[in-house]
């Protein structure tokens, strides 16, 4: 009897493991298919051809798996073949737009609300984008205040708007050209991290000092940087207003203890719920704010604004621009 019980238990465990394995592979195949649709949408908005070889390279698939993926896209009516290239159908575009929007909104949430470093949010958003339902996406977008761009400068459009960042690559700019960084490409991650280490950020004004086949020299925040053509190709410039600290203002976190200041503005890259929360605390243009208490570990720091004592982390105070009020 005990042998039969053990046998039945073993068969039940094996059946559960087999079911889990089958579910896991179905989920992985569906995620790969959605990743392919997202790549086709990105290539389409950038005017680049999308071949099976392109998908295989970007998704790290061997030729056999790439052929199976393309056949699956065509069979499901999510893509069509045109002169050796792949193009999205209406059904495929709908799925691709949902996945891409989910990815960019999740990145915005992780940077603004969870305060994760920008270089860490891409992989996390990629894991969660496939399980975000349309109703969850609508709630997240409203919670964030319908942001216009993700942390890297990619647009988060509403229906009918474009998906590609406006502007031209820094690598194509000429000596003497000026522009504002509209987008920093976050893939590959090592390139993106290199750009961040150089101090580049979305909304920053740069000027091209010179270029040749080996390097692009630029001026940013009063510093001269030398970028390789590969790095410069991952920076998109556009004409527009730079997100610069107004003359005479300083970030709130640099304000000395006991020195009062007038709030000038909140940095424009702080959007959605985070911006509303700071304004609800009384941090609006013209408000008087004074740092009063600094804890032993320096963070968070206490400030008095509109007669109320509030606490702000350094990363929050850094994005509030104030003008010190000197003794009269």
pLDDT of residue 324: 92
Write the CATH number for 231. 2.30.30.90
How many other CB atoms sit within 10 Å of the CB of residue 45? 14
Omega before 125 cis (within 30°)?
no
Among 238, 267, 287, the domain boundary falls at 238
What are the E-state strand segments in 13-151? Answer: 79-82, 85-88
Mean pLDDT of 178-198: 89
* Angle subtended at Cα 198 by Cα 195 and Cα 204, rounded to the nearest 5 degrees: 80
pLDDT of residue 92: 94
pLDDT of residue 327: 46
How many other CB atoms sit within 10 Å of the CB of residue 122? 20
**Residue 314 structural domain:** 250-324
Domain count of the fold of the chain: 3
Among 34, 61, 88, the domain boundary falls at 88
Among 88, 119, 140, the domain boundary falls at 88
Instruction: Note whether residue 53 is domain-resident.
Output: yes
Write the CATH number for 82. 1.10.10.10
Q: How far apart are CA 52 and CA 67, in angstroms?
A: 7
Q: How far apart are CA 149 and CA 105, in angstroms?
A: 8
pLDDT of residue 72: 93
Read off the pLDDT band of 328 (50, 70, 90). very low
C-alpha 45, offset from chain centre:
18
5-52 pLDDT tens trace: 666 767 677 677 776 666 555 677 889 899 999 999 988 888 888 888
126-142 pLDDT tens trace: 989 999 999 999 999 88
Tell me how far apart the terminal alpha carbons of the chain are, to the nearest angstrom. Answer: 95
Whether the per-residue pLDDT at 262 is higher than 90: the answer is yes
115-126 pLDDT tens trace: 888 888 998 999
- Whether residues 181 and 254 share a domain: the answer is no
If residue 325 lies in a helix (H) or strand (E), which one and from where to where?
none
Strands 301-305 and 288-293: antiparallel
């Amino acid at each position: 009897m005990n042998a039969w019980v053990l046998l039945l238990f073993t068969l039940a465990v094996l059946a559960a493991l087999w079911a889990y394995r089958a579910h896991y592979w179905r989920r992985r195949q569906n995620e790969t298919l959605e990743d392919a649709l997202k790549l086709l949408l990105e290539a389409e908005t950038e005017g680049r051809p999308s071949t099976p070889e392109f998908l295989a390279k970007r998704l790290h698939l061997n030729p056999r798996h790439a052929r199976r993926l393309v056949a699956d896209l065509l069979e499901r009516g999510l893509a069509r073949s045109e002169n050796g290239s792949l193009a999205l159908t209406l059904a495929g575009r709908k799925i691709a737009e949902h996945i891409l929007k989910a990815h960019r909104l999740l990145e915005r949430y992780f940077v603004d609300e969870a305060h994760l470093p920008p270089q860490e949010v891409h992989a996390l958003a990629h894991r969660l984008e496939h399980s975000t339902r349309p109703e969850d996406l609508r709630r997240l977008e409203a919670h964030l205040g319908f942001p216009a761009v993700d942390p890297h400068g990619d647009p988060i459009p509403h229906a009918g708007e474009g998906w590609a960042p406006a502007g031209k690559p820094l690598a194509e700019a000429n000596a003497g050209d000026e522009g504002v960084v509209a987008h920093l490409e976050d893939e590959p991650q090592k390139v993106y991290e290199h750009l961040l280490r150089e101090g580049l950020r979305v909304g920053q004004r740069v000027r091209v000092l010179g270029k040749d086949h080996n390097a692009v020299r630029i001026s940013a925040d009063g510093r001269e940087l030398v970028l390789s053509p590969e790095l410069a190709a991952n920076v998109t410039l556009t004409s527009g207003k730079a997100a610069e600290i107004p003359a005479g203002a300083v970030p709130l976190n640099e304000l000395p203890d006991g020195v009062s200041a007038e709030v000038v503005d909140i940095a424009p890259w702080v959007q959605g719920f985070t911006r509303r929360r700071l304004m609800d605390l009384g941090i609006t243009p013209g408000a008087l704010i004074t740092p009063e208490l600094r804890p032993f570990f320096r963070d968070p720091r206490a400030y008095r604004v509109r007669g109320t004592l509030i606490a702000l982390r350094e990363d929050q105070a850094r994005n509030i621009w104030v003008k010190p009020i000197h003794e009269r």
